[in-house]
């Protein structure tokens, strides 16, 4: 059997094991589109493939110098030091176990260990934690320009497609044009956008009123947009804490999802952002945007190494369908699409 098939089977097996232990979800988002993954991961896949090819060209035999090059490659691919160390250990163990001396065989071991590292010990869960019969609030936060507003529109489109009643709240009362930007998306989607009553209104009060309106109008899912905020601005982080608090006033179980948006092109600084944001709101998931614009797909592994927060959506382009529920199987296939490992 081909190497890739083997790897996918391993992933499926792990997933089946974890699914058995998984908490029940009312909404399981699982339909993902392989073509979008293939297209969106072209950059990362291309760079990863040539890095592996170069590695084999430069090192004819498996030795300390080759291991050092593998480590450099992983760091360069944005995997992060923690995950790199763990993956390196697994690669070295496997090389010893299989007694590999031919450098070309190491390629397969590297890919195998990278992805097995991602799936181990985790409940791979790309579902949104939505409950039927109540107004589910999804809070979306992140630093400036990472793709919060467009991701909200894409998620709304996705949920509308599933027949849900969705509305948006324009909680970014700070940036000029932010409310209008969200309202345009809402118009396109033919859904309600709850707006501030006056300029510069306190975002917590807009969100409070919006969530109240959504509850009264039996909306299934309400998506709250927020201003871009730098994680080191204490007053802005406190503002997010306040927003989280007012949502809880209606239902202590809300927000059902607090999603942090990270821009994949900014690399390791995403880790610092996730740490700071998780101190003010209990993050339940990450939306990793602009994966199509980076050649360093390894950020997925750095996130895995630092947090127990799942990547729920991945941004692979700018159209509605380019925001896809994150699926490790599709990710592996997309990244290694042009590899000839069978």
Ligand X SMILES: Nc1nc2c(ncn2[C@@H]2O[C@H](COP(=O)(O)OP(=O)(O)OP(=O)(O)O)[C@@H](O)[C@H]2O)c(=O)[nH]1
Name the site residues for ligand X (rule: CB under 6 A): 142, 144-150, 172, 175, 178, 228, 289-290, 292-293, 315, 317-318, 322
- Nearest-approach distance from CB 167 to ligand X, in angstroms: 18
- List the interface residues with Mg ion, window 287-326 (CB under 5 A): none
Out of Mg ion, ligand X, none, what residue 94 binds, judged by CB under 5 to 8 A for its kind, is: none
Nearest to 104 by CA among 113, 95, 93: 95
Q: Can you spell out the DSSP letters for 43-80?
A: HHHHHHHHHHHHHHHH-SB-SHHHHHHHHHHHHHTT--
* Nearer of residues 148 and 312 to Mg ion, judged by Cβ: 148
* Residue span binding Mg ion (CB under 5 A) among the ranges 56-64, 106-114, 141-149, 253-261: 141-149
* Contacts made by residues 12-17, CB under 8 angstroms, sequence distance 24+: 12/329, 14/119, 14/120, 14/124, 15/119, 15/124, 15/329
What b/e string do you get for 155-182 counting C-beta neighbours within 10 Å, with b at 16 or more?
A: bbbbbbeeebbbbbbbbbbeeeebbebb
Give the interface segment with Mg ion, choosing from 32-40, 103-111, 143-151, 185-193 (CB under 5 A): 143-151
Q: Which does 256 bind (CB under 5 to 8 A by kind): ligand X, Mg ion, none?
A: none
Compare residues 149 and 231 and give the one whose CB is closer to Mg ion.
149
Distance in Å, CB of 96 to ligand X, minimum: 40
| Interatomic CA distance for residues 92 and 111, integer angstroms | 13
Q: At what angle do helices 234-250 and 203-216 cross, to 10 degrees?
A: 20
Q: Please, which residue, 172 or 305, has the CB nearer to ligand X?
A: 172
Q: Measured between alpha carbons, how far is 130 from 219 in angstroms, rounded to an integer?
A: 12
Work out how close the CB of 71 gets to ligand X at its nearest, in angstroms, rounded to a whole number: 29
DSSP string covering 275-301: HHHHHHS---EEEEE-GGG-S-TTHHH
Length of the chain (residues): 342
Nearest to Mg ion of 5, 175 (CB atom): 175
Nearer to Mg ion, 4 or 182 (CB): 182
148 binds Mg ion (CB under 5 A): yes
Q: Which residue is nearest to Mg ion (CB)?
A: 149
Cβ-based burial of 50 (10 A; exposed 0-12, middle 13-18, buried ≥19)? exposed
Angle at CA 202, nearest 5°, toward 201 and 203? 105
Minimum CB distance to ligand X, residue 107 (Å): 29
Q: Of 135, 149, 295, 324, which one interacts with Mg ion (CB under 5 A)?
A: 149
DSSP state of 174: S
Edge-to-edge strands, sheet with 221-226 = 192-194, 166-171, 221-226, 136-141, 257-263, 285-289, 311-315, 323-325
Q: Stretches 13-21, 89-97, 144-152, 246-254: which one binds Mg ion (CB under 5 A)?
A: 144-152
Q: Which does 318 bind (CB under 5 to 8 A by kind): Mg ion, ligand X, none?
A: ligand X
The minimum distance between CB 244 and ligand X, in angstroms, equals: 18
Nearer to ligand X, 143 or 333 (CB): 143
Cα-atom radius of gyration of the chain, to the nearest Å? 21
φ/ψ of residue 64, rounded to 5:
-60, -35
**Which residues have a Cβ under 8 Å from the Cβ of 63 and sit 6 or more positions away?**
none
Number of residues located near Mg ion, criterion CB under 5 A: 2
Picked from Mg ion, ligand X, none, the partner binding residue 310 (CB below 5 to 8 A depending on kind) is none
- Residue among 51 and 236 whose Cβ is closer to ligand X: 236
290 binds, among ligand X, Mg ion, none (CB under 5 to 8 A by kind): ligand X
Q: With respect to ligand X, which residue has the nearer C-beta, 225 or 329?
A: 225
* Shortest distance, position 41 Cβ to ligand X, whole Å: 12
Q: For Mg ion, which is the closer residue by CB, 87 or 224? A: 224
Cβ 297 vs Cβ 44: under 8 Å:
yes
Binding site for Mg ion (CB under 5 A): 148-149
């Amino acid at each position: 059997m081909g190497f890739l098939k083997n790897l996918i089977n391993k992933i499926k097996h792990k997933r089946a094991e974890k699914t058995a232990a998984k908490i029940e979800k009312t909404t399981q988002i699982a339909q993902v589109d392989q073509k979008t993954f293939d297209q969106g991961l072209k950059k990362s896949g291309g760079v990863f493939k040539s890095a592996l090819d170069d590695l084999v060209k430069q090192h004819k035999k498996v030795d300390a110098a080759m291991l050092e090059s593998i480590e450099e490659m992983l760091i360069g691919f944005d995997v992060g030091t923690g995950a790199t160390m763990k993956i390196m250990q697994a690669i070295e163990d496997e090389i010893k176990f299989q007694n590999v001396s031919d450098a070309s065989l190491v390629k397969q071991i590297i890919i195998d260990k990278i992805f097995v590292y991602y799936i181990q010990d985790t409940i791979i869960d790309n579902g949104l934690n939505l409950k039927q019969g109540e107004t589910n609030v999804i809070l979306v936060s992140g630093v400036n320009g990472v793709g919060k507003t467009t991701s909200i529109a894409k998620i709304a489109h996705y949920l509308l497609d599933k027949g849900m009643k969705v509305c948006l709240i324009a909680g970014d009362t700070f940036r000029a044009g932010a409310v209008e930007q969200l309202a345009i998306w809402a118009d396109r989607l033919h859904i309600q956008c709850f707006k501030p009553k006056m300029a510069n209104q306190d975002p917590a009060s807009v969100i409070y009123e919006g969530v109240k309106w959504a509850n009264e109008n039996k909306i299934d899912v309400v998506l709250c947009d927020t201003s871009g905020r730098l994680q080191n601005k204490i007053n802005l982080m406190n503002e997010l804490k306040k927003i989280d608090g007012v949502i809880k006033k209606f239902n202590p179980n809300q927000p059902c999802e607090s999603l942090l948006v990270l821009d994949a092109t900014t690399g390791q600084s995403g880790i610092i952002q996730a740490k700071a944001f998780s101190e003010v709101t209990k993050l339940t998931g990450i939306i990793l945007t602009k994966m199509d614009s980076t050649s360093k797909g390894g950020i997925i592994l750095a996130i895995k190494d630092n947090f127990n927060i799942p990547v729920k959506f991945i941004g692979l382009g700018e159209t509605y369908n380019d925001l896809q529920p994150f699926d490790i199987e599709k990710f592996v296939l997309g990244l290694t699409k042009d590899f000839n490992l069978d």
